[in-house]
């Protein structure tokens, strides 16, 4: 017989990411962030490979990365919108955790499963931060996918990619709700 946890299910049914631009100070201290990071890494990890790593960005790092994003965008002929989006990812933040997908070369676990594990770590991080009372948002954007930015900014090895940048802080305004997926339209029951 199942042993339901109604509080956990209610949390999952009502959870809502907070837009990064609405997050402010204070942010979690290292002691407050540690259990959030611990919870985030309790994700499916086939073969105990730990195919991810985390970078915690504090405000001084965010300032440096905003400048680096602008320089990269300008060097590649980026539009003012691209520059603003790259800077904004870091200008507006006070604390973020970069989840790096770091697949391990081996024969047992396919690379895609390792990358999905890093994505699960991103969602686990958002959920753990929200459960701890903080606001949180999982972002990517061009800064996550541009190797010319991400390699020097985050010290990526050749096989690594950015799975997400999770901003964490104090919620300043309640997030607006949004339309939710139509479960009946998206779900197929196979009974034979």
**Residue 147 annotated in ligand binding:** no
Instruction: Name the one residue in this structure whose structure tokens are 């690594």.
Output: 160
**Residue 140 annotated in ligand binding:** yes
3-state percent helix, strand, coil for the chain, nearest multiple of 5? 50, 15, 35
Question: DSSP letter at 191?
Answer: -
Measured in whole angstroms, the distance separating CA 101 from the mean position of its chain's CA atoms is 11
Residue pair 122/39 in contact by the 8 Å Cβ criterion: no
Q: What are phi and psi of 23, to 5 degrees?
A: -95, 140
Residue pair 170/25 in contact by the 8 Å Cβ criterion: yes
Grouping H, G, I as helix, E, B as strand and the rest as coil, residue 177 is: coil
Question: DSSP letter at 53?
Answer: E
Determine the Cα–Cα distance for residues 96 and 16; give it in Å rounded to an integer. 18
**Residue 12 annotated in ligand binding:** no
Instruction: Name the one residue in this structure whose structure tokens are 């010290």.
Output: 155
**Residue 42 annotated in ligand binding:** yes
Bridge partner residues of 19 (DSSP)? none
**Residue 46 annotated in ligand binding:** yes
**Residue 172 annotated in ligand binding:** no
**Residue 17 annotated in ligand binding:** yes
Known binding residues for FMN are 15-17, 42, 46, 138-140
Known binding residues are 15-17, 42, 46, 138-140
């Amino acid at each position: 017989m199942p042993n339901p946890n109604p509080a956990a299910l209610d949390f999952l049914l009502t959870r809502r990411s907070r837009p990064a631009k609405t997050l402010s100070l204070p942010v979690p201290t290292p002691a407050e962030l540690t259990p959030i990071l611990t919870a985030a890494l309790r994700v499916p990890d086939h073969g105990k490979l730990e195919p991810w790593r985390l970078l915690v960005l504090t405000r001084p790092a965010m300032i440096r990365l905003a400048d680096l994003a602008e320089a990269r965008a300008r060097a590649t002929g980026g539009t003012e919108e691209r520059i603003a989006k790259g800077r904004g990812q870091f200008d507006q933040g006070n604390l973020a955790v970069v989840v790096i997908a770091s697949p391990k070369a081996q024969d047992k676990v396919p690379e895609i499963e390792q990358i999905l594990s890093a994505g699960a770590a991103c969602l686990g991080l958002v959920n753990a931060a929200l459960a701890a009372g903080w606001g949180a948002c999982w972002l990517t954007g061009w800064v996550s996918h541009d190797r010319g930015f991400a390699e020097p900014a985050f010290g990526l090895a050749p096989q690594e990619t950015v799975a997400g940048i999770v901003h964490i802080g104090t919620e300043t305004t309640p997030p607006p709700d949004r339309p939710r997926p139509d479960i009946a339209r998206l779900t197929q029951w196979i009974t034979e």
